[in-house]
C-alpha cells in the first residue's frame, strides 16, 4: 500500500513537472542600441521599406534568439544607450510585407492600428525591463516608438513558431 502511494506521488510530481515545463516561457534577450546622441539620426529605414541598407542605421534593436515557440515569451530588455531613452513594443504582423501604419506628423507608428501586443515603456539609458506575453505562431516586429527612432532603424523582425 505504501509503495503504491509512493508511486502515485512520484507520478503526480512528474506530471506537475511536465506541466510546468510546458508552461515555461521562452526568454529573449533584447538590446536597444544607438551610436550616441552626437551621431546624426539617419531616416528612411522603416520596417517594410524596400531595399533597405541597414548598415546605415544609427540605432537599432537586437533580439537573441530571433525565434521562439508559441506560448509565453519573456523579453528581457536592456537599453544599451549611454544617453538616449528607448522602448520596445511587440507588434503582430498579419502580412509581414506590409509597412506599419505611420503618423508622419508625430514621427511614430500608430500603435493602436499596428497590432501592439505589449511593451517595455521608455527606459532610461542603461536601464532594463521585462515583458511576458502569450504569442501565437506568426511574424512579429519589435520596435522603438520614441519619435524618430523607428524610421532610424529601431526595429527587428521576430518569429514565433508552433
Domain boundaries, the chain: 25-161
CATH of 25-161 given 3.40.50.620, 2.60.40.1180, 2.60.40.420, 1.20.1250.20: 2.60.40.420
> What is the pLDDT confidence band of residue 157, given thresholds at 50, 70 and 90?
very high
The three cell numbers locating residue 103:
503618423
Backbone angles phi, psi at 122, to 5 degrees: -40, 120
- Does residue 160 surpass a pLDDT of 80? yes
CA 25 vs. chain centroid, Å, equals 14
Sheet holding 71-79, edge to edge: 59-64, 26-34, 71-79, 128-135
Quick one: which H or E segment has residue 21?
Answer: helix 2-23
Identify the sign of the CA torsion 112, 142, 119, 127. Answer: negative
Could you report the per-residue pLDDT of 132-148, keeping only the tens digit for each? 999 999 999 999 999 99
Could you report the per-residue pLDDT of 90-111, keeping only the tens digit for each? 999 988 788 899 999 999 999 9
Which one, of 29, 60, 35, lies nearest residue 143 by Cα?
60
> Counting Cβ atoms within 10 Å, is residue 34 exposed (0-12), middle (13-18) or buried (19+)?
buried
Amino acid at each position: 500500500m505504501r509503495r503504491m502511494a509512493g508511486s502515485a506521488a512520484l507520478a503526480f510530481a512528474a506530471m506537475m513537472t511536465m506541466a510546468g515545463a510546458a508552461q515555461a516561457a521562452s526568454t529573449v534577450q533584447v538590446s536597444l542600441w544607438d551610436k550616441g546622441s552626437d551621431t546624426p539620426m539617419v531616416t528612411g529605414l522603416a520596417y517594410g521599406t524596400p531595399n533597405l541598407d541597414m548598415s546605415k542605421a544609427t540605432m537599432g534593436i537586437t533580439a537573441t534568439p530571433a525565434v521562439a515557440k508559441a506560448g509565453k515569451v519573456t523579453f528581457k530588455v536592456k537599453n544599451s544607450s549611454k544617453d538616449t531613452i528607448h522602448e520596445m513594443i511587440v507588434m503582430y504582423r498579419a502580412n509581414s510585407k506590409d509597412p506599419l501604419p505611420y503618423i508622419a506628423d508625430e514621427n511614430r507608428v500608430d500603435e493602436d492600428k499596428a497590432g501592439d501586443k505589449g511593451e517595455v515603456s521608455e527606459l532610461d539609458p542603461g536601464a532594463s525591463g521585462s515583458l511576458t506575453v502569450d504569442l501565437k505562431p506568426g511574424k512579429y516586429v519589435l520596435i522603438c516608438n520614441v519619435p524618430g527612432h523607428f524610421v532610424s532603424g529601431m526595429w527587428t523582425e521576430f518569429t514565433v513558431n508552433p
